[in-house]
Amino acid sequence: MIAKSENRFIRLNFITIIVTLLVILAGGIVRSTGSGMGCPDWPKCFDQYIPPTSVSQLPADYKEKYVAGRLKKNEKFAKYLESMGKKELADSIRHDQSITVPEEFNPAKTWTEYINRLTGAVLGIFLILTAIYSFVYRKTAKRIVVLSILNILVVGYQGWLGSIVVSTNLTQWVVTVHMLLAIVILGILIYTYNYAKQLHKERSVIMYRILWLKGFLAFTIVISIAQIVLGTEVRESIDSIAKSLQYGGRNTWISKVGNIFSYHRDLAILVAVCNFVVYKMVIDRFSGKAWPLMTANYIVITLIVQIASGFILSYLALPPYAQAIHILFSTILFSLQYYLYLLVYRTATYKPN
């Protein structure tokens, strides 16, 4: 019997997972619409809590002001990189001329980016509440408390990195790290959710060997994360191409990306094959309404949507809605794979005495 206070934490944890996915969706919409620099400062937007809707609401020297602010913040970031032994990387930040080019004010892009930041703030609130409610496990499962608090620190670092994304004018590798941290936050939430749900349950036992499924599923998760990283780099390359062409000739962008797009497409085939192998292994070992089987079914549905959105992106000149769907479902796929792994990890093979 699970106590009400524990059920409350489980529900809140699940809601926080959904909010995290919504934040990733909002980030995908920002990227696909080119709104990343809609707010040139952080955490405010044009130094206001409520963004402007017209140029008349902006200071006369706003372009010079925010470029100067970015350069100042980037110098601090460069020194931070140097302290980590990344001198070449620091110098590349200092000498990146694109950072000195101010963005033109666009109300639609400004509000798109602002809504993205609001969803991030809501996530921060939910993570704090999750950490507070996690103290119900301070005696029975301290790792839930520790991980919930750790997630607040990770999202705090993520917020700081978000300011660097803005100040560096969407420097490519910073955007990739930003995405990976979102996966870390999601992974911690899924782990605490599953651990809390399974805390008072007996370990599942089945008649079939499970070791191969555990190992192959772990491999599938690794290549899925690699695919997300490659996809982020493809997106960054397309952003650069789009900007160089002044956002014209959209149907030529993919052809200009180069080998990285081919790697992304080829790895997508491997990801699909691995996930269908995982599905076959799960249905061979579980039946009925077992959660691993249900999760595997969701993985197949998610994978189909992901593949379909990939085809739309490739052959319909990168429509923005498909980009946002592609990013969202790549993280949903990871979430389901990781949850399945946690379920399978607690499963043992029956050994007769």
Whether residue 196 sits in one domain with residue 209: no
Same domain, residue pair 223 and 308:
yes
Pair (222, 190) in one structural domain = no
Q: Which of 27-41, 204-218, 264-278 has the highest mean pLDDT?
A: 264-278
User: Is the pLDDT confidence value at 62 over 70?
Assistant: yes
pLDDT at residue 236 in the model = 78
**Statement to judge: residues 192 and 319 lie in one domain:** no
Q: Which domain, by its residues, includes 177? A: 1-201
Residue 205 reports pLDDT greater than 70: no
Confidence at 275, pLDDT banded by 50, 70, 90: very high
pLDDT score, position 169: 58
H or E, element range at 203: none
Whether residues 210 and 174 share a domain: the answer is no
Instruction: State residue 170's pLDDT score.
Output: 55
For residue 300, the model assigns a pLDDT of 96
Same domain, 137 and 73: yes
Q: How many separate domains does the chain show?
A: 2
Rounded distance between C-alpha atoms, residue 217 and residue 36, angstroms: 35
Please, what sign has the CA dihedral across residues 108, 113, 119, 125?
Answer: negative
pLDDT of the residue at 1: 64
- Residue closest to 113 by CA, chosen among 193, 34, 3, 215: 34
Domain stops at, among 181, 201, 221? 201
Averaged pLDDT, 304-309: 94
Residue 9 and residue 121 in one domain: yes
Same domain, 182 and 36: yes
Shared-domain flag, residues 4 and 143:
yes
Query: 56-65, 126-135, 223-232, 293-302: which has the minimum mean pLDDT?
Result: 56-65
59 and 83 both lie in a single domain: yes
Q: Using the 3D structure, point to which of 136, 167, 201 is the last residue of a domain.
A: 201
Query: Phi-psi region for residue 347, left (φ > 0), alpha (ψ -120 to 50) or beta?
Result: beta
Residues 193 and 212 in one domain: no
Task: Find the CATH number of the domain harbouring 234.
Answer: 1.20.120
Who has greater pLDDT, 144 or 68? 144
pTM: 0.87
Task: Among 167, 201, 235, identify where a domain stops.
Answer: 201
Q: Do 125 and 113 contact (CB within 8 A), yes or no?
A: no
- The pLDDT, as a whole number, for residue 192 is 97
Residue 353 is predicted with a pLDDT of: 59
pLDDT for residue 352 is more than 70: no
Instruction: Give the mean pLDDT of 142-155.
Output: 95
| pLDDT (tens digit per residue) in 149-192 | 999 999 988 887 777 766 665 566 677 788 889 999 999 999 99
- Which 3 state secondary structure label does DSSP give 77? helix
Q: What is the pLDDT of residues 80-124, one digit of tens each?
A: 778 878 787 778 778 777 777 777 788 898 999 899 889 988 999
What does the pLDDT read at residue 162?
72
DSSP 37: T
80 shares its domain with 194: yes
**Residue pair 16/126 in contact by the 8 Å Cβ criterion:** yes
